[in-house]
Structure 1
Amino acid sequence: MPSSLSSAPGAQPAAASVGPAVATPSGSATYVDWASIIGGALFAAALSFVLITFGSAIGLTMVSAEPGEGVSLRWVTIAAGIWFIWVAISSFAAGGYITGRLRRPLGDAPAEEVETRDGAHGVLVWALGTLLAVLMASSGVGGLLGGASSAAGSLAGSASEMATEEIEGYAGRMLRSDGNLPSAEARSEIASVLSRSLAAGEVSEEDRTHLANIVAAETELSPEQAQAQVETVATEAEELRAEAVEMAEQVRIAAVIGAFVVAATLLVSAAAAYFGASTGGQHRDRRISFRHYGRPY
């Protein structure tokens, strides 16, 4: 009899109850709704373009061609960085929200699973938008980092080796006098000594003495006057090189900080896209429209 069979020793126990099963897509259905992802990415790109254009207009009102007028370059850079952070985060959050509203849920998955899928679609919006910015926009993240690195490298190179025109100018000033014009050989020798010395960091005492002897031989200056003239020009050249080194260091530090800020902004933007898509999915399931925002009910 059935009752005796069910209670017989060795009978298999009844299967334990389990939670609701997560539906799996069948046929051509897929969990990834690329149409909603592309739509959200395009919306995020368009919104960021509008906000960046608006920020550029504000930035132009902060600067002036008149000396001493307008906001300093330092504060303009800080304001531009803050605006870039806000634009990236808000644009990806809005794009994720649009994707969450447009995504078509599959099956009767639990609420936690639905929220995770919506958030994952927001992250894909962020990934697609970032790739589009790097690949298609010349002023995107890749261009920003590349430009900063190139600027730092160029200034570092110019700091270790001054321009030929500047070296020639210092050589001409050392040979300046009211007498005859100095020979081309003397100018070339002074330029060579200055270039080698400044590349090493400073003009040594031995090089200063050698330069003073050349100046005294090529001009009508006394040895003391030639030495003083060499000291003045050499000190000015060393100060200019020190300023170039300091500028290169500041650019390097700015490039490092900028790279970290961009990376951190992208990570925060990914989180904003995730939560934006999750919020959009909740509003989709609860059938909340935009016209209900701001109402007490």
Structure 2
Amino acid sequence: MVKSIEPAAASIAVPSRYLSWTPVILGALIATALSSILLAFGVTIGLGVSSTAPTWRDASAALWILSGLYLILQAALSFGVGGYIAGRTNVGLAALDTAEIEQRDGLHGLAAWALAVVLGVALAAFIGSATLTRPNSNSSSARTSAAEPLLSYEIDRLFRPLRRAANVDLLQERAEAGRILLTSSSHSGMSSEDRSYLAQLVAANTGLAGAEAEKRVDAAIATSQASIAKSRRSSVILAFSVAAAILLGAVIAVTAGSVGGSHRDGAAMPHWMGARGSGAAYRREVA
């Protein structure tokens, strides 16, 4: 009996590589594609804590919570599917024991998660660079400021004249006013010198009296502080949601990889996945 077992055991080869890249790449590509589709759908229906629109001011707590939950759920679904595919398509482990097979399948799910994260970051960086790189951007960059996208509405109100003079270019004044308004959110706040200078700019460009210009400046400072605070809260919530989604995705990818491996080895699959029974599509024979 011993002689009959030894040839069968010797014919089973242990996999030489701990990680097979084909299942990992396949799972990562599927996870990235599914995540891109779900994110695009979320943006389409308006789930977001920020917007490029200068007058966008919807920063309610309900929208923050809903957007964060959607971001976490889409990451869990995307990384779960990718990890499952990576574990399900990882073959050639019949010579290993059950615990080792489960560890390797989970590792393939984790590797698919890591590669999907890298692909997602690269895709986001590519889209961002393509959006920022526009013709004639260098010619106007010296006359604009970083405050324009965030505070453009406040600056519009700041330089709204009673009578618009003909052929007046306010780009330089707007850029300078934007940089001054950004200082209003600092710990020390806007200095009295900057406030007086800003009132002078408003009076010179709008024709308002000194008192009216100062009132307009005070209103712009108050609304600017509120807008900057909302933008900061949105950025913190977005960063936290992204980090939580990525970390949760790692756990789900490992678990999904192990589940995919068990289904590959003949474990019973849920009916919603198309299973008809326990099956034995993949059997290990030790005789």
TM-score, with structure 1 as normaliser = 0.56
1:121 paired residue number: 108
Correspondence for 2:37 = 50
Deviation of 1:235 after TM superposition, in Å, equals 2.5
Equivalent position SS for 1:109: coil
* Change in 2 beyond 3 A, CA 1:278/1:54: same
Match in the other structure for 1:271: 251
Instruction: Give the corresponding residue for 1:201.
Output: 190
CA contact (8 A) 2:83 2:256 kept: yes
Please tell me the residue identity of whatever aligns with 2:114. Answer: A
Distance 1:136 1:125 in 2: 16
Q: Contact 1:94 / 1:276 at 8 angstroms: preserved in 2?
A: yes
Partner SS state of residue 274, structure 2: helix
Q: Work out whether 1:254 is the aligned partner of 2:197.
A: no
| CA offset digits 1:150-202 (Å, max 9, x no partner) | xxx9449987xx85x76665xx66xx9xxxx9xxxxxxxxxxxx999976726
Percent identical among aligned pairs is 31
Separation in structure 2 between the aligned mates of residue 196 and residue 132 of structure 1, nearest angstrom: 36
Look up the match of 1:132: 119
Residue of 250, 274, 278 corresponding to 1:291: 274
Q: How does 1:65-144 map to 2 (within 5 A)?
A: 74=60, 75-76=62-63, 78-106=65-93, 108-138=95-125
C-alpha distance 79-197 of structure 1, shift in aligned 2 (>3 A): closer
Report the Cα offset of residue 246 of structure 1: 2.4
Structure 2: which 5+ runs fail to align? 1-11, 48-57, 133-144, 166-176, 184-188, 279-287
CA contact (8 A) 1:98 1:280 kept: yes
Paired position in structure 1 for 2:211:
231
**Number of residues paired by the alignment?**
215
Shift of 1:80: 3.5
TM norm structure 2: 0.58
Alignment-mate amino acid for residue 254 of structure 1: S
Report the residue type matching 1:283 in the other structure: H
Rg larger in 1 or in 2? 1
Matching residue of 1:189: none
Aligned counterparts of 1:195 and 1:138: Cα–Cα separation in 2: 27
Rounded to whole Å, the distance in 2 between the matches of 1:203 and 1:268 is 48
Shift of 1:291: 2.7
Please say if 1:38 is aligned against 2:25.
yes
3-state SS of paired residue (1:292): coil
SS of the counterpart of 2:258? helix
How far apart, CA to CA, are the structure 2 residues paired with 1:293 and 1:268?
A: 31
- In structure 1, the gaps of 5 or more residues are 1-22, 61-71, 147-152, 182-193, 220-225
1:55/1:203 CA distance change after superposition, 3 Å = closer
Deviation at 1:36, TM superposition (A): 0.9
CA contact (8 A) 1:37 1:121 kept: yes
Q: Distance in 1 between matches of 2:254 and 2:114?
A: 11
Alpha-carbon distance between aligned partners in 2 of 1:288 and 1:92, rounded to the nearest angstrom: 22
By percentage of residues, which structure has more helix?
Answer: 1
